[in-house]
Amino acid sequence: MNNSYEYIDPDHVYTDAKTGVLRNLGDIDDKNALSFFESAAVAKRASQLKDKPLKIKNSHSLIEIHKFLFQDVYEWAGKVRTVEISKGDKGFLPTSRFDTGFSHIDILLEEYRKLPANYKMQIAHKLAEILDAVNFLHPFREGNGRAQREFIRTLAIEKGIDLHLNPPDNKDVYERYMSGTINGDIKSLADLISKLAGK
């Protein structure tokens, strides 16, 4: 399977027409330099969220998280994408169906919050369902993975779970997370979350 992203953006809404680089607040026109700049800026903001997470009110809290994480990098931080995205042979939710996508996540959040904190298996499965739905929504032009991992991490805190789906010292966890999200494998994601929550 081809894991490269493809964007339908003939008008270059997000990228410079000459360089193909995402327009950014640092006026950087080199992809590698932008990647370094973005990683450093987002890591700093993610560290702040680790100490003081944003409260998840509903599905649109995902937008608040994205805005916080990417506020130093992109003018459109916290704004839903206006272009269509696919990855290999998998298309993400069309922009015309975003309202339905966010509403579905809200339903899953309501179900999640009804679960007692000691229902570990059900919690892991519901978090996996939410993660899968958020990943399919893929509401941003860039930074979906980082925003959704923070969203899920913050939800887990509500049930007393310290959950990290991209630990710096465990490549296997990140690869299992990526495989589960790419393939829409809720069982695999639930198993991973359950394992991590048990530590």
Q: Give residue-wise pLDDT tens across range 92-143.
A: 999 999 999 999 999 999 999 999 999 999 999 999 999 999 999 999 999 9
Burial of 30 (0-12, 13-18, 19+ CB in 10 A): exposed
Residue 76 has pLDDT above 80, yes or no: yes
CA distances, 79 to each of 10, 44, 61, 140, 141 (Å) = 19, 20, 12, 7, 9
Phi, psi of 27 (to 5 degrees): 50, 40
Please tell me the predicted confidence (pLDDT) of residue 80: 98
CATH number at 109 reads: 1.10.3290.10
CB 5 within 8 A of CB 85: yes
pLDDT of 37 reads 98
d(CA 131, CA 110): 14
Q: Which residues pair with 5 in a beta bridge?
A: 87
Mean pLDDT on 4-23: 93
Q: Which domain holds residue 128?
A: 5-197
Total domain count, the chain: 1
pTM over 0.85: yes
% the chain with pLDDT above 90: 87
What pLDDT is recorded for position 1?
Answer: 40
* pLDDT value for 166: 86
Q: What residues does 91 pair with on adjacent strands?
A: 86
End-to-end Cα separation, the chain, in angstroms: 33
- 19-29 pLDDT, tens digit per residue, is 999 999 999 99
